[in-house]
Amino acid sequence: MSQGRQEKEVQMLREVMTPPSTFEDGFSGKTIIGALFLGLFMLPGSMYLMLFMGAGLGPAARWVTVILFAEVARRSLKSLRQQEVFILFYMTGVALATPFQGLLWTQYLVQSDVAQAMGISSEIPVWCAPSAETIRQTGNTFFNKYWLYPILLISFQLLITRINGFGLGYALYRLTAHGEKLPYPMAPVDAQGVVVLAEDREQRTRGRWTVFAIGGMIGLVFGLIYIGIPSFTGSFLGTPYQLLPIPWLDLTAKTEKILPATPLNLVFDLTLVVTGMVLPFWAAVGGFIGVVLTMIANPILYHYGYLPTWQEGMGLVDTLYSNQIDFYLSLSIGLTFAIFLISIGTTVGPLLMRWIRKRTGSTAVGAESHSLLEAFRYNRLRGDIPIWISIAIYVVSTFMYIFLSRWMINSMSGGSGDRFPTMFFLIFAFIYTPLISYVSAKLEGLVGQAVAIPLVREAAFILSGYRGVAIWFVPIPIMDYGAETRMFRVVELTGTKFTSLIKTELVTIPVIIVASLLFSEFIWRLGPIPSEAYPFTQEVWRLQALNSCLTYTSTMTGGSRFLEALNPSYLTIGAAIGVFGYLLLMVCNLPTFIIFGLVRGIGQMSPGNLLGEFIGALIGRYFFQRKFGVKRWRQIVPVVLAGFICGLGLMAMAGVGIALIAKSIETLLY
């Protein structure tokens, strides 16, 4: 694929759906009712599913909420405007942040054998969690004085994070969507669903509603098999009965004779297949190639002694962890650093060409400069936020983060650890974060996914010279705001004023804080977490604890397994593979999207996820595109995915509701 052909594909993706000419405010009294509904009904279901299968209601809850409100409005002889439908959709995403669910993870981490064995448990500061002994004495409850600091800290982080979404994230959206004209291929999935649900009954006889309904029925059937049956049986029989394994089928130990030291699993989540149909084809292919390369490379690396920690009989979790510390930690850093270099290069290159043409007096400069000026042009009808206000929001919130972290480390750490390195993080927050956020925004705009450089936060803490564990639990402003840009694209595609979002946030955030805390308390009181009642947490939380505690040791005095795992040679190899792979694809006239997918595939935590996406990409390209045509299929598939997620959500809500009621009755009886 030549550069011109790739630009043509980008333009085709951008034309799947274009913004309307008029914009309206979507905030209304229905928004307040929706916020209460979400806090009381949707949020607890999402929390339960996250513990049960590792994925909350997420997009599914959005469609369930929108459909419910749309149908209630119709039966009241009213209708929801397209902008009101979107605000309900947006508000659901905000409400399902479930900030206090993190406390359930924290209580496990403090009490875990992993944290205690590595000496981490006793060093966790009071603003994160009380000690393991205190938790055992007070029982499964957050309503005591020992959890006050963690609750206040999480509330502060939620508030500042939501405010800052309108800071650097919004500025980057204006730059990439209006200045660089990037397509944002995943944004039409949400926008098309909103448009379909806002249509009246006469319009619904058209094709899009039929497509949405077909996707919804597929989601309902799959949801019954994948979520419904395990939820129902777990409620009444005590142990969930799974027709399809959750979260995966582990094949690592069964294939170790043929593929030693190779993590291998199968994921039976149909959502991955449908998502693969939406993603750019070559990005999905690149991910699959990365998985295949890992399967080829690991036995060779093990044979030559580069994966010495792996032992026969290890499952997926232990194999991933052992390979991470032996090889893939450093290689992944190098690969994603290469993506960073590539993205910066593809951005700086056009800027240099514009400068050269300007110096030579090229007449094309005027049109290109006009394109860049679109990023900074203020449109009052669209409800734009002035760019200087967005940047000011980011600057103020960043200073608040750093000053709070400094106060917590210097005044509340009980004398343990060093002084907080203020100047180091000021430089880091105002140089690194804007750069990586821009790169992530560009990837979101091109391939619908953001890939950040891993372990940057860890590297910052190590290079700062700080000694102690407390720094890992303060709200450091090392974030990637590139992912925020996709939602802003959906706002524009649906003709909603950006100021509507600010009003919605002011209504929704208080509801989130209260409801999330109450239901975290409720779920914890039902029983210990992890346990057999929550298959995902029982399988995966141990791996997360291993990786987290390994990282925390990097700033402790004495030896650090994390620092020992960093290998400059492997890091350099990863960077070289990424850069030269990209150049080779360009020279051979092949699609460069492959390299972005490749980074996701090599050393992937769950190879089965990328296999599902690859299967979906093949079905979409070689069956449906031939049946409907490329342009028609690109318009259909986002609606299919939206309907599928909606149907899956309806079944998930039914299963979760029954499970929570059954567990509540059981707790009251005994």
3-state helix, strand and coil shares in percent for the chain, rounded to the nearest 5: 75, 0, 25
Please report where in the chains the tokens 């085709």 appear, as a residue.
Answer: 12
Whole-angstrom distance, CA of residue 111 vs CA of residue 122 = 10
Residue 658 lies in a domain: no
Residue 384: DSSP 8-state: P
Q: Positive or negative CA dihedral for 584, 585, 586, 588?
A: positive
pLDDT of 666? 61
Which residue type does 310 have? W
Sequential DSSP letters for 563-606: HHH--HHHHHHHHHHHHHHHHHHHHTT--THHHHHHHHHTT-S-
Q: From the CA atom positions of the chain, what is the Rg in Å? A: 25
d(CA 241, CA 222): 15
| pLDDT at residue number 258 | 92
Range of the domain at 31: 3-652
On whether the CB atoms of residues 335 and 571 are closer than 8 A, the answer is no
Please spell the DSSP secondary structure of 458-472, one letter per residue.
HHHHHHTT--SSGGG
Distance CA 445, CA 485 (A): 8
In a domain, 667, yes or no: no
Asked if residue 661 belongs to a domain, the reply is no
Look at residue 664 and tell me if it is in a domain.
no
pLDDT in tens, 373-397: 555 666 677 778 888 888 888 888 8
Burial of 612 (0-12, 13-18, 19+ CB in 10 A): buried
Spans of the chain below 70 pLDDT: 1-17, 55-64, 77, 97, 197, 199-208, 238, 343-379, 412-418, 447-456, 558-561, 603-605, 660, 663-670
Measured distance CA(24)–CA(495) in Å, rounded: 6
What pLDDT shows up at residue 515? Answer: 86
- Is the pTM here over 0.75, yes or no? no
- What is the DSSP secondary-structure string of 409-428? HHHHSTT-S----HHHHHHH
User: Does residue 144 sit within a domain?
Assistant: yes
Is residue 659 included in any domain, yes or no?
no
pLDDT given for residue 262 in this prediction: 92
Domain count within the chain: 1
Q: Is residue 665 part of a domain?
A: no
| Angle of the 422-447 helix axis to the 593-601 helix axis, nearest 10 | 120
Torsion of CA 597, 602, 608, 610, to 10 degrees: 0
Residue 54 DSSP one-character state: S
Task: Say how many Å lie between the first and final Cα of the chain, rounded.
Answer: 66
Distance CA 143, CA 23 (A): 45
Any domain includes 439: yes
What dihedral do alpha carbons 378, 382, 388, 390 form, nearest 10°? -160
pLDDT for residue 305? 92
